[in-house]
Amino acid sequence: MGFPGTWMTESETLVYRVIPKCACSTIGQVMHYIDHGEYYDGDIHDAPSGIHKWSLAHSQPRLEHVITEGSAYTFTCVRNPYTRILSAFFDKICGIQRNGKRYRGKLVPLLIQKYGITVEGDFDQIASFRRFLLFVRDTIKFRRPMDPDIHWSAVAGHASTLVHGGGKYDAIISTEDFKTGMQDVLRHIEVHHPLDLDQMPRFNESEGHGPKRAHPVEDYFDDLSMHMIYEIYHKDFELFKYDRDDPSNKMPIGQIDLDEVHAKLGE
């Protein structure tokens, strides 16, 4: 199985399990900067060097060795399921991607045809989002009409691959309190180039892809939507301590228990 979705600094001091829609662009740039003293010029997901990635063949032996030995500080970053699925909708379904096209080509026409969503013009964001949720539920629960996409499959599922491979997390930080969590991670390692997180630019690669969210988070979720979200993401709520009953509360409501995370993700 290996360690899909893992990145590591070239100095081999820090390992990160990438989770889409959870500040991954920013974290990748942090890792690049602390080794090289500069940010990658472009989307860090496209970087062919300057950072080890499991997707790069030459990086795999080093990642496997470091993760199984536990010789680098290993972490990931999680996000509230309500805001994460909304972000995926506006970026991947409503938005035009960097290549000037719709995400995954025929995906949006499929959603328009089979689920009746609308993403053009001044569309009803709430109605289309709730129809999108039906599609998400179908992909995750029934793998129809396609396998779930990485941008809306559960955070716990992404995080579990490192545990199943024999790795262990030293920290799990939250997107909602990113600077505090990332600063704590950096305190545990030696960095070649110190970084002031307060001064770093924003690296939100999805920003501007789609329309602006027109309503507060909670307006998108009625009772049925909340039930579906919990059905799909119950492990994310429980392990990463998010409030299932209040979509307007994006902050964690408790401390993550790493022992519990390793036990549940290793099942």
Dihedral of alpha carbons 190, 35, 26, 84, sign:
negative
156-161: average pLDDT: 98
214-224: average pLDDT: 97
The rounded mean pLDDT for the chain is 95
Sequence-ordered list of residues with C-beta below 8 angstroms from that of 14, at least 6 positions apart, any chain = 8, 31, 34, 72, 73, 74, 75, 185, 189
User: In terms of DSSP bridges, do strands 73-78 and 52-53 run parallel, antiparallel, or are they unpaired?
Assistant: unpaired
Would you place residue 207 in the very low, low, confident or very high pLDDT band (cuts 50, 70, 90)? low
Which region among 103-112, 229-238, 245-254 has the lowest average model confidence (pLDDT)?
Answer: 103-112
Percent of the chain beyond pLDDT 90?
90
Instruction: Assess whether pLDDT exceeds 70 at residue 68.
Output: yes
Type of residue at 210: G
Rounded to whole angstroms, the Cα distance separating 181 from 151 reads 22
pLDDT tens digits for range 118-147: 998 899 999 999 999 999 999 999 999 999
Would you place residue 208 in the very low, low, confident or very high pLDDT band (cuts 50, 70, 90)? low
Q: Of 154, 143, 146, give the one whose Cα is nearest residue 88.
A: 154
Rounded to whole angstroms, the Cα distance separating 248 from 109 reads 31
Strand partners, 174: 78
162-188: average pLDDT: 97
Q: Of 65, 267, 83, 57, give the one whose Cα is nearest residue 157.
A: 267
Q: What is the dihedral of CA 121, 103, 177, 194, to 10 degrees?
A: -120
Instruction: Assess whether pLDDT exceeds 70 at residue 206.
Output: no
Helices H / strands E in the chain, number of each: 9, 5
Identify whether the C-beta of residue 5 lies closer than 8 Å to the C-beta of residue 57.
no
pTM value? Answer: 0.95
Instruction: Assess whether pLDDT exceeds 70 at residue 180.
Output: yes
173-194: average pLDDT: 97
Instruction: Assess whether pLDDT exceeds 80 at residue 176.
Output: yes
